[in-house]
Amino acid sequence: MTSTLPTSPPPPPEAPATAEVPATAEAPATAEAPATAEAPATAEAPATAEAPATAEAPATAEAPLDAPAAAPAVPRSRRERILRGPDDDPAWARPALYALLIATGVLYIWGLSASGWANSFYAAAVQAGSESWKAFFFGSSDAANFITVDKTPLSLWPMALTARIFGMSSWSMLVPQALMGVGSVALLYATVRRWFPPAAALLAGAVLATTPVAALMFRFNNPDALLVLLMIAACWAMVRALETGATTWLLLCGAFMGLGYLAKMLQVLLILPALGLVYLIAGPPRLGRRILQLLGAAGAMIVAAGWWILAVELWPEDSRPYIGGSQNNSILELTLGYNGLGRLNGNETGSVGGGGTGGPGGMAGPGGGGGMWGESGILRMFDSAQGGQIAWLLPAALLLMIAGLVITARRARTDRTRAAFVLWGGWLVVTALTFSFMQGIFHAYYTVALAPAIGALTGMGGTLLWSRRRRPWAIALLAVTVAGTAVWAWVLLGRSADWLPWLRWTVLIGGIAAAVALAATSRLAARIAVPVGVVAAAITLAAPAAYAIDTAGTPHTGSIPSAGPMTAGGFGGGPGGGGRGGRGGFPGGFPGGGQAIPGGGQTMPGGGQAMPNGVFPGGAQGQPFYGFGGRGNAGGMGGLLNGSAPSDEMIALLEKDADRYTWIAAAVGSNRASGYQLATGDPVMAIGGFNGTDPAPSLAQFQEYVEEGKIHYFIGDGGFGGGGRDGSSQVSAEIATWVQANFASQTVDDTTVYDLTVPASASQES
């Protein structure tokens, strides 16, 4: 009985000399291998004739999956290894990998420009970085370097470089993200393949590629694409370190972690416990050396991230952009506060709302009872907001993780199979629990960080049980996993019951039938059992793959995109204007793009305490609130979390004498500013940063800019950014009030625009 799925063909019997090597490689007693080299080939012929018996011995089915497979008689050349894989790869493995990568590339790249600027907040920073190396280095929102995005800038650099080379466009910006997706699938395959058979690696890569939220984020311009790639790279380096105990690989692992910080700050640390624990348990050197090596890896992580932090902190503040998302112009404050502990406990100064206990100012969030970012708790990853994004194979991955740890529990300390389950299982458990219980800002697309671990555990656990399918408990557990996955997919598909209704029942019936067939494979020959296993794997991937294809075929814009079709409640559901031009939004749904929350203390959708006077979240009273992620009105006023869409008339107005000003306009909030900047190609000042709540610029600074003739227009009607409820700045409201009182205005596309070169008195006299 072989230990891989599918099995590789046995060596041809007509070549006696070539049969010797596989026989010694597959036989349990590998110590006899040297004897074959010393004895004449003819003397060993009887022994080789017995080799097939070793293939059917039950003991081989129980051998660790990290045991080397049979090698060909003639080792492959370097070119052949590139094209056909390592010597121990079966003939089908490398073509299957190429097919997977090509399919992933098509899924992630086809129709990529349909999403336009995607998240205009980051698109504006990409544009700025393509025009100014200073903006490139700091991650500035505009080429005039007024304020940065609220993240470290590494994820912007590949997009800015391609925009600089090929010109700024949706395609040039998003192609690097898609290629990172293909690279992530390839690297996950390579990492799993080092210790497991090709079938495990292929299944792991396929799970990652077809996870709906992965199909979303690798076609989008948020930092998560690069973050996922770097986290997989860190695990790959750790796997290499566990093989040899070499410090070099640990230092490389630490460097990837440090770069992960530069991609999306502290989120990368969620896999740090798994990395440290697995090396402490399974690292080859003695314990003292293992500890010293891990300290060295921590140092490499600090250096890889710290050089940029040090540069920013030492750079004179008046010579660099303001650090967006901070209240004190500090990257360390941003790291530890708004993007650090604030995400865990919900105390985020400058945020648009708290976590699991309510919305802005402690008010009840949309949908009732869950807070602005949804309810926290152990079942959060399975609810209507996150379930369709990531949870299709999450129960299966958890079950297979437990099975893998139990099977390998009594093995040697350095056993690679157990180490793999500790590594990927630690990644999954720590990250999922953190996401489930964090009280601060949380979006469903964050869950893309779970996809590689789910894929690895599914592939490893599935093939581990398959190799033991002669044992009733193993094949029964595998069958239960397949059936349970089909039932869970039926539940998730029921949340979008009007979308492909036939698929729901097909997956359920097919999954149960496949589970029954799997249970019978313990008595079947490999040539029959293997196709059954392949069909079962395909059925488990059918539902998430369909969601992923739907995601790839739908344009996504805004700061809170969501994958898959609309669901009943949660992201993609409700009446809301989310990241899909009307689909998506907050759990329970906010009003769609262009709709207003009426003033006078009306109740939010879904119940809960009213927003006093229609304020959200600290903006001018009675101003309309526009849907998160949807399209703005004709005048181009985008939502708080989506860029504006100015008309030709507005663009012509803003571009008038543009070369005379540092900023052609100023607007409250980065997303509103970004839409005008992307439409005109000229810098627009984002007052208050992303949420409009950063104290930049101060009223005095803004007045100085106006007096110096650096800003031409102020775009009003913001409806947010006043701050103050959570200790954040109120300067944006002060600036808006001062502008309204002192400068002439005109209305373009239902948006009030103030000319900062024309005083209000002069306008009235004329």
Contact status, residue 751 vs residue 636, Cβ threshold 8 Å: yes
- Report whether pLDDT(571) > 50: no
Query: How high is the mean pLDDT of the chain?
Result: 81
pLDDT at position 26? 38
- Report whether pLDDT(609) > 90: no
Annotate 688-710 with DSSP letters as a single string.
Answer: TTTTT-S--S-HHHHHHHHHTT-
Query: What is the rounded distance in angstroms from the CA atom of residue 625 to the CA atom of residue 719?
Result: 6
Query: What is the rounded distance in angstroms from the CA atom of residue 668 to the CA atom of residue 687?
Result: 5
- Report whether pLDDT(465) > 70: yes
- Report whether pLDDT(721) > 70: no
pLDDT at position 367? 37
Name the band, by pLDDT with cuts 50, 70 and 90, for residue 372. low
Higher-pLDDT residue of 761 and 758 is: 758
Query: What would the two tokens of residue 625 be?
Result: 């609130």
Q: pLDDT above 90 covers what percent of the chain?
A: 67
Q: Is omega for the bond preceding 90 within 30 degrees of 0, making it cis? A: no
pLDDT at position 63? 43
pLDDT at position 155? 98
Query: What is the rounded distance in angstroms from the CA atom of residue 618 to the CA atom of residue 724?
Result: 7
DSSP run (H or E) holding 748: strand 743-748
Q: pLDDT above 70 covers what percent of the chain?
A: 75
Numbers of helices and strands, H then E, in the chain: 31, 5
pLDDT at position 40? 41
- Report whether pLDDT(252) > 80: yes
Query: What is the rounded distance in angstroms from the CA atom of residue 232 to the CA atom of residue 223?
Result: 15
Query: If you count them, how many residues does the chain have?
Result: 766
- β-sheet bridge partners, residue 744: 755
> Looking at the whole model, is its pTM more than 0.85?
no
Name the band, by pLDDT with cuts 50, 70 and 90, for residue 691. confident
pLDDT at position 352? 54
- Report whether pLDDT(411) > 90: yes
